[in-house]
Structure 1
Amino acid sequence: MPLNNFMKEKRVLIIGSIITIALLTVPTFLLNGNNGQSSPKGQSENGETTTLSSLKGKNVVLFFNEGLMCYPACWDQIAAFGKDTEFTAKNTVVLTIVTDPKKDWKGAVEKMPDLAKATVLLDTNRKVSVAYKMLSLPSSMHRGQTPGHTYVVIDKEGIVRYVRDDVQMAIRNQELLGEIGKL
């Protein structure tokens, strides 16, 4: 192999490594910037207004996701939250945050009635998603437009204690309950 080709391949490898490290590090840096901070104040609605300040004294799990377009992974996680009584037993409220319009979400509930058991907040203006820096994480298939599949655990004082951006889009109830148990 000529030396010139070897140097080109080496440069490509180095540049590729730098890009990979940046893609893995920047989102983690953004997410870790939330840990230990007071949760951003925001409002979403699902027919009524819900604010995090109204939930002080309870642990809160926020599940940011792509909503309707994320079938079946997000739908399955939302339904699993709605059926899981362990969160209530641990003084924890789970809020699923989607950016879908209310009329579209009603159609999803008709197709999968278990979705109605979960508390779903509509962030159609994306203010809550932006406040939590959720629109540009690796799990988002539509970066800049919708969140991906990200969990935020907030303690009883309103402090963010755990964040997981889940590119595998799995059901994480037990993992989240474990994190809540550490609070």
Structure 2
Amino acid sequence: MQQVVDLQNDPRFSALGVQLLSISPDPVGAWQKEGEKLGITEPMLSDQGNRVWFRYGSSSWMMPTSEPGHTFILVDAKGRVAWVRDYGATEHGGAMYVAPKEVVQQLADHLGG
């Protein structure tokens, strides 16, 4: 969850004008408690049944434990997937934390900024 904290506090991310929504398969209570503890102010969604995960095709980056990976999905105003990057995937280095600078740069490149 440190990724969410760091992105929400990064002025470069804020300048992109995109909404950060953190989604986890964790139960609502645990997810909410951890978010409050870390000072997360961005929206958080509990997706215990992984419906959102499957809806946006993130299952292709499933971790070896059959759990959702660490995927960033940019959804446009019409609800269409405009950009996807799963940093936890083997082909992307298997990282579970990515420096905000890298996420911001990739989003900015995609958004044309």
Per the normalisation by structure 1, the TM-score is 0.48
Per-residue CA distance 1:74-107 (angstroms, 9 max, x = gap): x211211222233332211111110111111233
Shift of 1:157: 5.0
Equivalents in 1 of 2:35, 2:78: separation in Å?
Answer: 33
Matched, 1:81 2:11: no
**Cα RMSD between the aligned structures?**
2.3
Equivalent residues in 2 for 1:25-174, closer than 5 Å: 75-109=1-35, 112-114=37-39, 116-137=40-61, 140-143=63-66, 146-156=67-77, 158-166=79-87, 167-174=94-101
Name the CA shift for 1:172/1:150 in 2 (closer, same or farther; >3 Å): farther
- Count of residues in Structure 1 that have an aligned counterpart in Structure 2: 104
Larger relative contact order (C-alpha < 8 A, sep ≥ 6)?
A: 1
Name the CA shift for 1:125/1:180 in 2 (closer, same or farther; >3 Å): same
Q: What SS class does the counterpart of residue 20 from structure 2 fall into?
A: strand
Shift of 1:136: 4.5
The code of the aligned residue for 1:113 comes to L
Per-residue CA distance 1:112-166 (angstroms, 9 max, x = gap): 423x22321111221111112223425x2421xx311111123455442322221
Equivalents in 1 of 2:105, 2:78: separation in Å?
Answer: 18
- Which consecutive residues of structure 1, in runs of 5 or more, have no partner in the other structure? 1-74
- Which consecutive residues of structure 2, in runs of 5 or more, have no partner in the other structure? 88-93
Which structure has the highest strand share of the two? 1
Identity over aligned residues, as a percent? 27
Equivalents in 2 of 1:178, 1:159: separation in Å?
Answer: 21
Q: What SS class does the counterpart of residue 153 from structure 1 fall into?
A: strand
Equivalents in 1 of 2:46, 2:106: separation in Å?
Answer: 25
Per the normalisation by structure 2, the TM-score is 0.72
